[in-house]
Amino acid sequence: MQQNNGLDKNQLIIFALFSMIIMGAMFYFQNKQATEQQLKEAKNKTEVKQTAPATATKPAMVTNLNDSVKTTSIQQVELKNKELTLGISTLGGQLTTVELNQYKAYDKKNDVNDKKLLLFDKNNSSYGFQFKDKSGKTFNTKDLVFAPTQNGNSVTMQANVNGAVIQFIYTLLDKYTVDFNVKTQNLAQLVSDSKADFIWDLSARQMEKGRSQEQTHTEFNYAFNDYKSFDYDGRTTMEEPKETLNWLAIKQQFFAMVIEPQHGFKNTHGSQDTVDEGEFVKKFNFNGQVDLAAGELNQDFKWYFMPLDLPLLKSYDKNFDELLPLGWSFIGTLNRWFFIPMYNLISSWGLAAGWVIFLMTIIVKIILSPVMFKQHKLSAMMRVIRPEIDEVNAKYKNADPMKKQQETMAVYRKAGVNQMAGCLPGLIQVPIFYALFRFFPNMIDLRGKSFWFAKDLTAYDDVIKLPFSVPLLGDHLSIFAIACTVVILIYTVMTAGNIQQPTQEGMPNMKVIMYIFPITFLFFLNTSASGLSWYYFVSNAINILIILVIKYWILDEKKIHAQIQQNKTKEPKPEGKFQKRMREMMEKAQEQQKVQQQSGKKK
């Protein structure tokens, strides 16, 4: 079992390797199963044309399952309120159409969200209960034709199977909820088992502009342990043989379809498969067992077809808020209690979503300003003592590397410069970056909100369309991503002067790596939410302004140089614990190196 304790281990990465992992992930999703693409397309087309799921097993128990089975007798009953429009078919007595009335899906032809948002439609979903008869053969309610009786926003579907009666009672409620009550009579005369299988097949339809991003967020989610525990699975298979699931969800980027059994699903397993092209993004199959009481199935279920809106999800009090992937542990807390409330507060002023993000960036920068000021002051001091560092490098050019490093650290220590202080701002910004990486593509309030040339801040902007597809980039160039890359590159050029060049042969040139890093951001941001690119464009533009202000109006480099020269005449400050450990480690390494050299000479 993939236990989720709030820690997403697949995404525990250090900042230095972040861009490489993103590039690898993007390459993987764009090229996965390339050799099987044509076969999958043909298979998908065949499945869309089917009027009944291929997985449904035709019962061999009797030749006359339902006396009323006729093609012309199949009809659809509609239930509707302000939130949902449901279509219930008499074939299988199942929901075949589910529309969210207050939302629209992405239309590729018009490049806007103006299509009906249909979670179920055109046989993309099929579900039913499968029973085993006394001869060992199976039959499924998917294959039965039910007779409907409608009363307001409630409909009773009834089927007769060799003297047994099966009723599905659907009642449309508020808050995107559908009561689904199952009742049977005389079923014990037909079945021999104490359980039934609930089988659900679904092809998740593409709803959003960013296909790869939506695929990443389309997965199994489920709760167990009396709603207290939550887990998810975005892989190919799902196996939970020991847990009793309180609910099972197929979640997409902004919407979820949830089935909740009264007594839970047992011995559950499922599979999911990515669809590379076409109107669907993933295919799912789920099988969970429900108990029969004395051979009868009398149990209440609930369907939820809901947007992933955090206040709405919390209102159910069933751990549904975990469906919103805001990040693990501190990352999720940062989104729930800082970024989301801040966005809601600023947006309540009536500003456009892009300007809300702009103000959010300003607020974050103000909060981090003390730390950022120390970082930029340290950068200025590093520039001032650069001649002394270069002098040490020249003096110990042919000396032992460890000796050179010790002398370099001594210069920093005498000047009162703590190199490690520059790491703090970077460490602080790692969780902020990751929190925003989760925030922008999952904030439903941003969905469909346009800003300048971006038509949807939760998806990429593609004003610049390419006549061909470029590996890792796709068939477009995002203006926000390009702008963000440019300002990051400018910021890198302004700060790269403080980077010490490698003094040992074979060591990587850190300046080159720093210049490459912004370019990798273009590949990452080009298919990401444009809101994220806009945020980091503003953030890095502010960084550039801060550097200029500090350099020309706040810090006097001559005074800093004088202060450093004065520090040299004083007794150096005692070594900190970290500095002491670093020195001891270098001395130990130097001693080991000498021993190895001496032993080599003796041989």
Q: Is 35 helix (H, G, I), strand (E, B) or coil?
A: helix
pLDDT, position 596: 65
pLDDT at 147 over 90: yes
Say whether pLDDT at 224 is over 80.
yes
Indicate whether 151 pLDDT > 80. Answer: yes
pLDDT-derived band at 153 (thresholds 50, 70, 90) equals: very high
Question: Which range scores top for mean pLDDT: 134-143, 417-426, 552-561, 586-595?
Answer: 134-143
| Stretch 429-445: mean pLDDT | 87
Tally of CA atoms within 13 A in the half-sphere of 367 that contains its CB: 12
Lowest mean pLDDT among 15-19, 106-110, 455-459: 15-19
* Domains of the chain with bracketed CATH: 32-325 (2.70.98.90), 332-586 (no CATH)
pLDDT tens digit string along 164-221? Answer: 999 999 999 999 999 999 999 999 988 888 899 999 999 999 999 988 889 989 999 9
Kindly report, residue by residue over 534-573, the tens digit of the pLDDT. Answer: 998 998 898 888 878 777 777 666 676 676 666 666 665 5
pLDDT band at 15 (very low <50, low <70, confident <90, very high): very low
> First-to-last CA distance in the chain?
56
pLDDT value at residue 390: 75
Q: Return phi, psi of residue 26, to 5°.
A: -65, -40
pLDDT at 545: 86
**Mean pLDDT, residues 268-276:** 92
Examine the pLDDT at 57 and tell me if it is beyond 50: no
For residue 345, pLDDT beyond 60: yes
Q: What is the pLDDT of residues 379-421, one digit of tens each?
A: 777 777 777 777 777 777 766 667 777 777 777 776 666 666 5
Higher pLDDT among residues 565 and 226, named by residue: 226
DSSP run (H or E) holding 535: helix 530-549
Which of 49-58, 168-177, 262-271, 417-426 has the least mean pLDDT? 49-58
E strands, 262-368, are 266-274, 280-291, 299-307
Residue 305 pLDDT: 97
**Per-residue confidence band for 425, with pLDDT thresholds at 50, 70 and 90:** low
DSSP state of 17: G
Q: Is the dihedral of CA 62, 67, 73, 74 positive or negative?
A: negative
**What pLDDT, on a 0 to 100 scale, did the predictor assign at position 593?**
62
Residues of 316-325 as b/e, b for ≥16 C-beta within 10 angstroms? Answer: bebbbbbbbb
pLDDT tens, residue by residue, 575-587: 556 556 665 665 6
pTM of full prediction above 0.85? no
Mean pLDDT lowest for which of 9-18, 277-286, 382-391, 470-479? 9-18
pLDDT of the residue at 400:
67
3-state secondary structure of 288: strand
Q: With beta carbons less than 8 A apart as the criterion, state whether 235 and 216 touch.
A: no
What is the pLDDT, as a whole number, of residue 234? Answer: 76
How far out from the chain centre does Cα 286 lie? Answer: 22
* Structure-model confidence comparison of residues 513 and 387, the more confident one: 387
pLDDT of residue 370: 79
CB of 213 closer than 8 Å to CB of 459:
yes
pLDDT for residue 16: 39
Q: Which helix (H) or strand (E) holds 260?
A: strand 255-261
* CA–CA separation, 355 and 361 (whole Å): 10
Neighbours of 367 (CB within 10 A): 12
Q: How confident is the model at residue 2 (pLDDT cuts 50, 70, 90)?
A: very low
Residue with tokens 């764009």: 30
Q: Which pLDDT score, from 0 to 100, does residue 193 have? A: 83
The 10s digit of each residue's pLDDT in 114-131 is: 899 999 998 899 999 999
Task: Give Cα 206 to chain centroid, integer Å.
Answer: 16
Long-range contacts of 23-26 (CB under 8 A, 24+ apart): 23/472, 23/520, 23/523, 23/524, 26/212, 26/472, 26/523, 26/524, 26/527
| Total length of the chain | 603
How sure is the predictor about 371, in pLDDT bands with cuts at 50, 70 and 90?
confident
Task: Tell me the C-alpha distance between 579 and 562, whole Å.
Answer: 25
For the ranges 58-62, 116-120, 213-217, 349-353, the lowest mean pLDDT is seen at 58-62
pLDDT tens-place string over residues 291-335: 998 889 999 999 999 999 999 999 999 999 999 998 888 888 999
Confidence grade of residue 19 (pLDDT, cut at 50, 70, 90): very low
Share of the chain above pLDDT 70, in %: 73
pLDDT at 523 over 60: yes
